[in-house]
Amino acid sequence: ILNVEQSPQSLHVQEGDSTNFTCSFPSSNFYALHWYRWETAKSPEALFVMTLNGDEKKKGRISATLNTKEGYSYLYIKGSQPEDSATYLCAFSGDSGGYQKVTFGTGTKLQVIP
């Protein structure tokens, strides 16, 4: 089983603060890195899928970067709002596990305090 780690495990920020989280994954045999947002009592929803080293993706106030050579991805939230409160998951797929196998990290739980 591949090791995908996310940090921090949880985070409390004030409304308006910017924040970022980290996802670490195996640096060899990379195929794709996904970010999902998971709100309580709902299903995970895709934010980004990144496949190339150096990829940067943006959706509104949320953006992500990818470094496949060193095996990490950052997710940034600019000007956090209460509706950003959720668990943010990253998921990795790579050749050593089979391209179609997906390994999730345990997530970063974000709470934005109004």
Partner 1 sequence: EAQVTQNPRYLITVTGKKLTVTCSQNMNHEYMSWYRQDPGLGLRQIYYSMNVEVTDKGDVPEGYKVSRKEKRNFPLILESPSPNQTSLYFCASSTRLASYEQYFGPGTRLTVT
Stretch that binds partner 1, among 16-24, 53-61, 78-86, 95-103 (CB under 8 A): 95-103
From 32, 63, 67, 72, residue interacting with partner 1 (rule: CB under 8 A): 32
Report the residue number, 2 or 17, with the smaller CB distance to partner 1.
2
Q: Using CA atoms, how far apart are residues 83 and 76, in angstroms rounded to an integer?
A: 15
Report the residue number, 36 or 84, with the smaller CB distance to partner 1.
36
